[in-house]
């Protein structure tokens, strides 16, 4: 989301998260758009103290 203007906030409702983002993530459509919002991180390959550093990274 680096191309968005300063001050932009992403604040979807729970319904928007489930109906749009999660549904598209599960069915594999709009993959690039969705992975910017809901990144894929292999948490099993990281130590607990490394997890905060994964925010915004895929």
Q: Domain residues of the chain, as ranges?
A: 14-54
What does the mean pLDDT of the chain come to?
A: 80
> Higher model confidence: residue 58 or residue 38?
38
Predicted confidence (pLDDT) at residue 46 exceeds the cutoff of 70:
yes
Mean pLDDT to the nearest integer, 8-22? 85
Strand, helix or coil for residue 55 = coil
Mean pLDDT to the nearest integer, 25-52? 82
- Rounded Cα–Cα distance for residues 38 and 27 (Å): 14
Predicted confidence (pLDDT) at residue 57 exceeds the cutoff of 80:
no
- Rounded Cα–Cα distance for residues 6 and 36 (Å): 17
Helices (H), the chain: 14-16, 23-27, 31-37
- pLDDT tens-digit map of 29-41: 877 777 777 778 8
């Amino acid at each position: 989301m680096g191309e968005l203007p300063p001050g932009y906030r992403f604040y979807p409702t729970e319904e928007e998260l489930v109906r749009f983002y999660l549904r598209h993530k599960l069915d594999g459509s709009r993959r690039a758009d969705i992975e910017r919002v809901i990144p894929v991180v292999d948490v099993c390959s990281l130590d607990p103290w490394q997890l905060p550093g994964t925010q915004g990274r895929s």
